[in-house]
Amino acid sequence: MKSQCFKFKLPIFIIIALIVVNAAIKNFNIKNFNIKNNNAIQRNNKAGVTPNKSEYIKKNGLKDAEIKKSQEVKHKQENLENKWKIGYDEFFEKKYVQAIETERQVLKEDPNFYKAYAVEGIALAYSGNFKNGIEQIDRALKLNPDYGYARFNKALANELYEHYDEAIKWYKSALEVEKFEWSYYGIASIYGRKGDIENTIKYLKLAIDINPNVKNSAKNEEDFDNVQDSMEFKELIKK
């Protein structure tokens, strides 16, 4: 009986022993892996190496280069804007030759600086060169068709040379992108020359609605000589 009990317990003992041995082997392997992994991390830390460090440096280097390039572009653009503004002011001071030269310097640095073409063009027109003036204004519009100041300058140049229908067309074109009082005023002044009281009042009123100071210009504007005696005109520009 004792012998049979022993025979029965032996297989159970063997199974338990195998389970224990297997568990011990797994535990040893896990422990060994952790030790190796920790050793590798320590070696990397001692060497000052982090995972993907070279890639990190490369990305940061590219980012720094992009930032530097962006800053250089911005700085150049600001310088061009400042120089363009000098030419713009020179035109309004009736220094047409200086304005042309200033804007040409801008365009030497950046042939795509469309605003410089617009100022150079109108300065050329006021200097007696309508053809080249319109060509330069058209270059501005080719680069930026929605540039309101270029559309306005094309209208102004045409008005200056008495191409009135073309001038009105371009003043209206300028108004499509910007409700500028002087575009309305330009249209009004053309109708004023023609003695068209109704349209003169219509567009001059639109200009005054935007900027009441337009009245002061209208009072002494020769373009309104043919309508200035009308009651509608007098009523509109009175204080």
Read off the pLDDT band of 5 (50, 70, 90). Answer: very low
Q: Which CATH number characterizes residue 99's domain?
A: 1.25.40.10
For residue 102, give the nearest of 122, 121, 116 by alpha carbon: 116
Instruction: Considering only residues 34 and 134, tell me which one the structure prediction assigns the higher pLDDT.
Output: 134
Kindly tell me if the per-residue pLDDT of 208 is higher than 80. Answer: yes
Instruction: Considering only residues 36 and 179, tell me which one the structure prediction assigns the higher pLDDT.
Output: 179
201 and 126 inside one domain: no
Q: Structural domain of residue 84, as residue ranges?
A: 74-162
Q: Per the domain annotation, does 226 fall within a domain? A: yes
Q: Per the domain annotation, does 198 fall within a domain? A: yes
Q: What is the Rg, in whole angstroms, of the alpha carbon atoms belonging to the chain?
A: 41
Per-residue pLDDT of 7-46, as tens digits, reads 444 445 455 544 544 544 445 444 454 554 555 445 555 5
188 and 234 inside one domain: yes
Residue 200, number of CB atoms within 10 A of its CB: 28
Q: Per the domain annotation, does 24 fall within a domain? A: no
**Domain endpoint, select from 130, 162, 194:** 162
Q: Which two tokens stand for residue 123?
A: 């300065």
Residues 6+ apart with CB under 8 A from 84: 102, 103, 106, 113, 115, 116, 119
**Domain endpoint, select from 162, 188, 221:** 162
- Quote the number of domains for the chain: 2
Read off the pLDDT band of 66 (50, 70, 90). Answer: confident
What does the pLDDT average to over 216-238? Answer: 95
**Is the pTM of the predicted complex or chain greater than 0.85?**
no
139 and 202 inside one domain: no
Q: Per the domain annotation, does 66 fall within a domain? A: no
What does the pLDDT average to over 174-192? Answer: 97
